[in-house]
Structure 1
Amino acid sequence: MQVTKNEQAGRYEAHIDGELAGFAEYERSEGVVEFPHTVTEPEFGGRGVASALARTSLDEARAEGLQVIPSCSFYAGWISKHPEYADLVRS
């Protein structure tokens, strides 16, 4: 699986064997990145696509010193299961 940032589309994309497996939309403003929506294509379900998107995008947010707004229910739930990312959430 390869996760890349598609700045033109405003999303992180996960590809498996060259096919789009899923994406996580983002909206960035001064010092903050919001994740409003995540999609895993049905044929790639259960393969950790959304988790790879979350981990990659949150690691990048950390590296850039950004706070995170996890408005997507998947992101909110994923962060609650991975408390090492809780410090990124904007209070």
Structure 2
Amino acid sequence: MELLISLYLLVVNILLFSWMGIDKQRAKEHAWRISERRLWITAIIGGAMGGWLGMQAFRHKTKHTAFVIGFPCLVVMHVLLILYLL
């Protein structure tokens, strides 16, 4: 079970990290964007660390206070939840 949860978290974090890079590139090209709603939902369901790392790596959404504060808070909440469940 722990392996399955770890695999899930790995996949969802890689997904959100990738989406942050893709969305940044699309923003530069004035192309169709990934919705903030999709980014938030993915962060809430476990991808917050990947989203936060993507923000740092791609310098994306760093002027949006909700993302700058929200993603790290979600990371802390996810870590606390994992520690509680273990």
The interval holding the TM-score normalised by the smaller chain is 0.3 to 0.5
Flag the structure with higher strand content.
1
Structure with higher RCO (Cα < 8 A, 6+ apart): 2
Flag the structure with higher helix content.
2
Query: Which structure's CA Rg is the greater one?
Result: 2
